[in-house]
Amino acid sequence: MDNWDQLQGECLQCRNCALADTRTHVVFGDGARDAEILFIGEGPGQQEDLQGLPFVGPAGQLLSDMLEIIGLDRSKYYITNIVKCRPPGNRDPLNVEQAACIGFLRQQTALLQPKIIVCLGRIAAMEIIKPDFKITREHGIWFTRGGVHMTAFYHPSVLLRDPSKRPEAFEDLKSLQKKIRALCSHTAI
Ligand code: URA
């Protein structure tokens, strides 16, 4: 068993917070375990909880369609969430739930060693980039931490609710494409 399988096994057994009581499945993550690009969402929704896979509901479909535009499919990135179990009713994950779960994401990041991290939405950006991250003002801006280039996109569920934000999201997508071409030698797009 490799380190990824061991970590996934631990995560699937986790009962570190109360979300374990209401989940159907733990949603560990999906995609290439040697990818150069890591996408981080907030937490599983209803479809993700039912299927055990991240971003497979309506927001996930929109995200996949957007990423396909720049030639990215799940063989070219890894995708996971800040919390691995669904917050009931899709509420924001509580600080205590994020704190209980963040170790899994840290270990996933250590195993993957991505060159680029894209936070999907405000919650992930506040946890990963900086606590006072303002998604409306700072989406699409690039930050560097320990040699890793990171940015945040609008969460795709926001783009479903408010299509007027899609042109800005498209600019962010083009900026990601440029960054990948500049930094990622194993990701042909
Ligand atoms: N929204 C998220 O933040 N993550 C998912 O996996 C699905 C929807």
- CA 72, distance to chain mean position in Å, is 14
Is the beta carbon of 43 within 6 A of some atom in ligand 1?
Answer: yes
Q: Supply the pLDDT for residue 58.
A: 97
Biggest CA-to-CA distance, the chain:
47
What pairing do the DSSP bridges indicate for beta strands 143-145 and 148-153?
antiparallel
Q: How far is the CA of 82 from the centre of ligand 1 (A)?
A: 9
Q: Supply the pLDDT for residue 60.
A: 98
* Spatial contact of 79 and 113, defined as CB atoms under 8 Å apart: no
Q: For 134, phi and psi rounded to 5 degrees?
A: -110, 105
Closest CA to 11 of 24, 22, 35, 27: 27
Per-residue pLDDT of the chain (189 residues; tens, 9 = 90+): 689 999 999 999 999 999 999 999 999 999 999 999 999 999 999 999 999 999 999 999 999 999 999 999 999 999 999 999 999 999 999 999 999 999 999 999 999 999 999 999 999 999 999 999 999 999 999 999 999 999 999 999 999 999 999 999 999 999 999 999 999 999 888
Q: How far is the CA of 40 from the centre of ligand 1 (A)?
A: 9
Is the beta carbon of 44 within 6 A of some atom in ligand 1?
Answer: yes
Q: Supply the pLDDT for residue 189.
A: 84
